[in-house]
Amino acid sequence: MNSPQPPQAESVQRYQDRKEAFWSGIRDATGAPAMVLFAGMVGFGAMGRTNGFDVWFTTFSTFFMFALPGQVVLMEMALTGSSAVAIALAVSLTATRFVTMTVTLFPQFHEKDRNLGLYASVHLLAMTAWAVSMREFHSIEAKHRLSYFLGLGMLCWLISIPGTVLGYFLAGFVPQAITLGLIFINPLFFLLTFTEIKPWGNRIAIVLGCLLGPVFYILDRDTSLLTTGLVAGTIAYLIDRKVLRKRAGVMG
Protein backbone atom coordinates (compact mmCIF):
# COMPACT_ATOMS: atom_id res chain seq x y z
CA MET A 1 0.00 0.00 0.00
CA ASN A 2 1.47 3.31 -1.03
CA SER A 3 2.04 5.84 1.68
CA PRO A 4 0.19 9.14 1.27
CA GLN A 5 2.12 11.77 -0.61
CA PRO A 6 2.95 15.00 1.23
CA PRO A 7 1.17 18.09 -0.07
CA GLN A 8 3.11 20.00 -2.69
CA ALA A 9 4.87 23.08 -1.46
CA GLU A 10 3.40 26.38 -2.53
CA SER A 11 5.23 28.43 -5.12
CA VAL A 12 7.93 30.68 -3.77
CA GLN A 13 6.57 34.08 -2.84
CA ARG A 14 8.28 36.73 -4.94
CA TYR A 15 7.24 39.75 -2.85
CA GLN A 16 6.55 40.14 0.85
CA ASP A 17 3.86 42.79 0.46
CA ARG A 18 2.16 45.09 -2.05
CA LYS A 19 4.60 47.91 -1.39
CA GLU A 20 7.53 45.77 -2.43
CA ALA A 21 5.67 44.66 -5.56
CA PHE A 22 4.87 48.29 -6.42
CA TRP A 23 8.49 49.41 -6.19
CA SER A 24 9.60 46.36 -8.14
CA GLY A 25 7.28 47.44 -10.93
CA ILE A 26 8.86 50.88 -10.88
CA ARG A 27 12.36 49.37 -11.04
CA ASP A 28 11.39 47.17 -13.99
CA ALA A 29 9.98 50.21 -15.78
CA THR A 30 13.17 52.28 -15.38
CA GLY A 31 14.87 50.25 -18.09
CA ALA A 32 13.66 49.62 -21.59
CA PRO A 33 9.89 50.25 -21.07
CA ALA A 34 10.31 53.85 -19.84
CA MET A 35 13.08 54.60 -22.34
CA VAL A 36 10.97 53.33 -25.22
CA LEU A 37 7.94 55.41 -24.24
CA PHE A 38 10.11 58.44 -23.56
CA ALA A 39 11.70 58.19 -27.01
CA GLY A 40 8.33 57.73 -28.71
CA MET A 41 6.86 60.76 -26.95
CA VAL A 42 9.92 62.84 -27.88
CA GLY A 43 9.10 62.09 -31.49
CA PHE A 44 5.44 62.95 -30.92
CA GLY A 45 6.32 66.23 -29.21
CA ALA A 46 8.49 67.22 -32.15
CA MET A 47 5.70 66.24 -34.52
CA GLY A 48 3.29 68.50 -32.63
CA ARG A 49 5.47 71.57 -32.96
CA THR A 50 6.33 70.84 -36.58
CA ASN A 51 2.62 70.80 -37.42
CA GLY A 52 1.87 74.04 -35.63
CA PHE A 53 0.24 72.83 -32.41
CA ASP A 54 1.06 74.56 -29.15
CA VAL A 55 2.90 72.84 -26.32
CA TRP A 56 -0.23 72.65 -24.14
CA PHE A 57 -2.34 70.76 -26.67
CA THR A 58 0.55 68.44 -27.48
CA THR A 59 1.36 67.70 -23.83
CA PHE A 60 -2.23 67.35 -22.64
CA SER A 61 -2.90 64.77 -25.33
CA THR A 62 -0.15 62.66 -23.75
CA PHE A 63 -1.41 63.30 -20.22
CA PHE A 64 -5.04 62.41 -20.92
CA MET A 65 -4.74 59.88 -23.75
CA PHE A 66 -1.40 58.12 -23.18
CA ALA A 67 -1.82 56.24 -26.46
CA LEU A 68 0.69 57.20 -29.12
CA PRO A 69 -1.17 55.85 -32.21
CA GLY A 70 -4.37 57.60 -31.11
CA GLN A 71 -2.48 60.83 -30.44
CA VAL A 72 -0.98 60.74 -33.94
CA VAL A 73 -4.42 60.14 -35.47
CA LEU A 74 -5.86 62.99 -33.40
CA MET A 75 -3.17 65.36 -34.63
CA GLU A 76 -3.39 64.35 -38.28
CA MET A 77 -7.18 64.61 -38.39
CA ALA A 78 -7.15 67.95 -36.57
CA LEU A 79 -4.77 69.23 -39.25
CA THR A 80 -7.19 68.24 -42.00
CA GLY A 81 -10.08 70.03 -40.28
CA SER A 82 -12.09 66.89 -39.50
CA SER A 83 -15.13 67.17 -37.26
CA ALA A 84 -14.94 66.32 -33.57
CA VAL A 85 -17.21 63.32 -34.12
CA ALA A 86 -15.00 61.93 -36.88
CA ILE A 87 -11.88 62.45 -34.78
CA ALA A 88 -13.46 60.75 -31.76
CA LEU A 89 -14.52 57.77 -33.88
CA ALA A 90 -11.11 57.39 -35.51
CA VAL A 91 -9.24 57.65 -32.20
CA SER A 92 -11.62 55.11 -30.65
CA LEU A 93 -10.88 52.66 -33.46
CA THR A 94 -7.16 52.96 -32.83
CA ALA A 95 -7.84 52.11 -29.17
CA THR A 96 -9.55 48.80 -29.92
CA ARG A 97 -6.26 47.05 -29.21
CA PHE A 98 -6.76 47.90 -25.54
CA VAL A 99 -9.81 45.63 -25.46
CA THR A 100 -7.72 42.51 -26.04
CA MET A 101 -5.02 43.79 -23.68
CA THR A 102 -7.58 44.36 -20.94
CA VAL A 103 -9.37 41.01 -21.24
CA THR A 104 -6.06 39.11 -21.20
CA LEU A 105 -4.32 41.05 -18.42
CA PHE A 106 -6.89 42.23 -15.87
CA PRO A 107 -8.48 38.80 -15.17
CA GLN A 108 -5.07 37.78 -13.82
CA PHE A 109 -5.46 40.18 -10.89
CA HIS A 110 -6.67 38.89 -7.54
CA GLU A 111 -10.45 38.78 -7.17
CA LYS A 112 -10.33 41.40 -4.41
CA ASP A 113 -8.63 43.83 -6.84
CA ARG A 114 -11.30 43.50 -9.51
CA ASN A 115 -13.37 46.48 -8.45
CA LEU A 116 -14.22 49.99 -9.62
CA GLY A 117 -10.62 51.04 -9.03
CA LEU A 118 -9.64 49.19 -12.20
CA TYR A 119 -11.37 51.90 -14.25
CA ALA A 120 -8.63 54.29 -13.09
CA SER A 121 -5.87 51.70 -13.41
CA VAL A 122 -6.72 51.01 -17.05
CA HIS A 123 -5.41 54.48 -17.96
CA LEU A 124 -1.92 53.16 -17.21
CA LEU A 125 -2.32 50.32 -19.69
CA ALA A 126 0.08 50.71 -22.60
CA MET A 127 1.71 48.32 -25.00
CA THR A 128 4.93 48.31 -22.96
CA ALA A 129 3.28 47.82 -19.56
CA TRP A 130 1.05 45.08 -20.96
CA ALA A 131 3.94 43.20 -22.58
CA VAL A 132 6.12 43.28 -19.45
CA SER A 133 3.20 42.34 -17.17
CA MET A 134 2.19 39.39 -19.34
CA ARG A 135 5.79 38.19 -19.21
CA GLU A 136 6.19 38.59 -15.44
CA PHE A 137 2.77 37.75 -14.00
CA HIS A 138 3.34 33.99 -14.06
CA SER A 139 5.99 34.38 -11.34
CA ILE A 140 4.04 36.91 -9.24
CA GLU A 141 1.34 35.94 -6.76
CA ALA A 142 -2.13 37.15 -7.80
CA LYS A 143 -2.48 39.38 -4.73
CA HIS A 144 0.64 41.34 -5.72
CA ARG A 145 0.06 41.67 -9.47
CA LEU A 146 -2.00 44.86 -9.37
CA SER A 147 0.61 46.64 -7.23
CA TYR A 148 3.35 45.56 -9.63
CA PHE A 149 1.33 46.76 -12.62
CA LEU A 150 0.60 50.13 -10.99
CA GLY A 151 4.29 50.75 -10.35
CA LEU A 152 5.22 49.71 -13.86
CA GLY A 153 2.46 51.64 -15.61
CA MET A 154 2.67 54.78 -13.49
CA LEU A 155 6.33 55.42 -14.23
CA CYS A 156 5.79 54.78 -17.95
CA TRP A 157 2.92 57.28 -17.96
CA LEU A 158 4.75 59.95 -15.96
CA ILE A 159 7.95 59.70 -18.03
CA SER A 160 5.94 60.23 -21.22
CA ILE A 161 4.93 63.76 -20.23
CA PRO A 162 8.44 65.30 -19.96
CA GLY A 163 9.36 63.32 -23.08
CA THR A 164 6.61 65.11 -25.01
CA VAL A 165 7.70 68.52 -23.71
CA LEU A 166 11.35 67.82 -24.52
CA GLY A 167 10.51 66.69 -28.04
CA TYR A 168 8.42 69.79 -28.60
CA PHE A 169 11.28 72.13 -27.78
CA LEU A 170 13.88 70.00 -29.55
CA ALA A 171 11.99 70.26 -32.83
CA GLY A 172 14.13 72.05 -35.35
CA PHE A 173 17.39 71.00 -33.73
CA VAL A 174 17.09 67.32 -34.67
CA PRO A 175 16.42 66.05 -38.22
CA GLN A 176 12.73 65.35 -38.77
CA ALA A 177 13.41 61.81 -39.97
CA ILE A 178 14.98 60.98 -36.61
CA THR A 179 12.25 62.53 -34.48
CA LEU A 180 9.51 60.76 -36.44
CA GLY A 181 11.49 57.52 -36.35
CA LEU A 182 11.43 57.60 -32.55
CA ILE A 183 7.68 56.98 -32.69
CA PHE A 184 8.30 53.51 -34.12
CA ILE A 185 10.52 52.41 -31.25
CA ASN A 186 7.42 51.44 -29.26
CA PRO A 187 6.14 48.69 -31.59
CA LEU A 188 9.74 47.52 -32.07
CA PHE A 189 10.06 47.05 -28.31
CA PHE A 190 6.78 45.14 -28.29
CA LEU A 191 8.07 42.82 -31.01
CA LEU A 192 11.40 42.20 -29.28
CA THR A 193 9.70 41.59 -25.94
CA PHE A 194 7.89 38.63 -27.43
CA THR A 195 10.81 37.07 -29.27
CA GLU A 196 10.82 34.30 -26.66
CA ILE A 197 7.11 33.51 -26.84
CA LYS A 198 6.40 29.80 -26.94
CA PRO A 199 2.89 29.46 -28.42
CA TRP A 200 3.30 28.93 -32.14
CA GLY A 201 0.01 30.66 -32.82
CA ASN A 202 1.48 33.95 -31.59
CA ARG A 203 4.63 33.46 -33.64
CA ILE A 204 2.61 32.81 -36.77
CA ALA A 205 0.53 35.95 -36.15
CA ILE A 206 3.66 38.10 -35.83
CA VAL A 207 5.25 36.69 -38.99
CA LEU A 208 2.03 37.06 -41.00
CA GLY A 209 1.66 40.62 -39.73
CA CYS A 210 5.14 41.50 -40.97
CA LEU A 211 4.44 39.94 -44.38
CA LEU A 212 0.90 41.21 -44.93
CA GLY A 213 1.39 44.70 -43.49
CA PRO A 214 3.22 46.17 -46.52
CA VAL A 215 0.75 44.51 -48.89
CA PHE A 216 -2.32 46.01 -47.23
CA TYR A 217 -0.56 49.36 -46.93
CA ILE A 218 -0.14 49.45 -50.71
CA LEU A 219 -3.80 48.52 -51.21
CA ASP A 220 -5.22 51.04 -48.71
CA ARG A 221 -2.94 52.74 -46.23
CA ASP A 222 -5.81 54.20 -44.18
CA THR A 223 -7.11 50.78 -43.13
CA SER A 224 -3.92 48.75 -43.55
CA LEU A 225 -3.09 48.39 -39.84
CA LEU A 226 -6.58 47.25 -38.89
CA THR A 227 -6.85 44.89 -41.86
CA THR A 228 -3.43 43.38 -41.24
CA GLY A 229 -4.22 42.64 -37.61
CA LEU A 230 -7.61 41.16 -38.44
CA VAL A 231 -6.41 38.94 -41.29
CA ALA A 232 -3.09 37.84 -39.75
CA GLY A 233 -4.64 37.19 -36.36
CA THR A 234 -7.55 35.23 -37.82
CA ILE A 235 -5.31 33.04 -39.98
CA ALA A 236 -2.96 32.38 -37.06
CA TYR A 237 -5.91 31.48 -34.82
CA LEU A 238 -7.32 29.04 -37.37
CA ILE A 239 -3.95 27.39 -37.92
CA ASP A 240 -3.46 27.05 -34.19
CA ARG A 241 -7.00 25.77 -33.62
CA LYS A 242 -7.33 23.43 -36.59
CA VAL A 243 -3.77 22.18 -37.08
CA LEU A 244 -1.36 22.75 -34.21
CA ARG A 245 -3.68 21.75 -31.36
CA LYS A 246 -4.87 18.65 -33.16
CA ARG A 247 -1.28 17.66 -33.87
CA ALA A 248 -0.36 18.22 -30.22
CA GLY A 249 -3.34 16.09 -29.17
CA VAL A 250 -2.27 13.22 -31.43
CA MET A 251 1.32 13.38 -30.21
CA GLY A 252 0.12 13.56 -26.59
Domain assignment present for 165:
yes
- Would you state the pLDDT for residue 2? 44
5 Cβ contact partners less than 8 Å away, ≥ 6 residues apart: none
Same domain membership, residue 157 and residue 38 = yes
- Would you state the pLDDT for residue 109? 92
Pairwise CA distance, residues 166 & 98, whole Å: 27
Domain assignment present for 225:
yes
- Would you state the pLDDT for residue 8? 39
Pairwise CA distance, residues 116 & 94, whole Å: 24
* Number of domains observed in the structure of the chain: 2
Same domain membership, residue 234 and residue 119 = no
Q: Is 171 helix (H, G, I), strand (E, B) or coil?
A: strand
DSSP 173-227: TB-HHHHHHGGGHHHHHHHHHTTT---HHHHHHHHHHHHHHHHHHHH-TTTHHHH
The residue ranking higher by pLDDT, 71 or 175, is 71
* Closest among 42, 10, 1, 27 to 185, alpha carbons compared: 42
Q: Where residue 12 falls among pLDDT bands split at 50, 70, 90?
A: low
Same domain membership, residue 148 and residue 60 = yes
Same domain membership, residue 242 and residue 122 = no
Domain assignment present for 10:
no
Pairwise CA distance, residues 58 & 46, whole Å: 9
Three-point CA angle 208, 137, 116, nearest 5°: 100
- Would you state the pLDDT for residue 190? 61
Q: Taking a C-beta distance cutoff of 8 angstroms, is the pair 65, 93 a contact?
A: no
Same domain membership, residue 115 and residue 182 = yes
Pairwise CA distance, residues 54 & 117, whole Å: 33
- Would you state the pLDDT for residue 21? 93
Domain assignment present for 105:
yes
Pairwise CA distance, residues 145 & 28, whole Å: 13
Same domain membership, residue 207 and residue 96 = no
The boundaries of the domain holding residue 119 are 18-196
Query: Tens digits of per-residue pLDDT, 46-96?
Result: 888 888 899 999 999 999 999 888 898 899 888 888 888 988 888 888 888
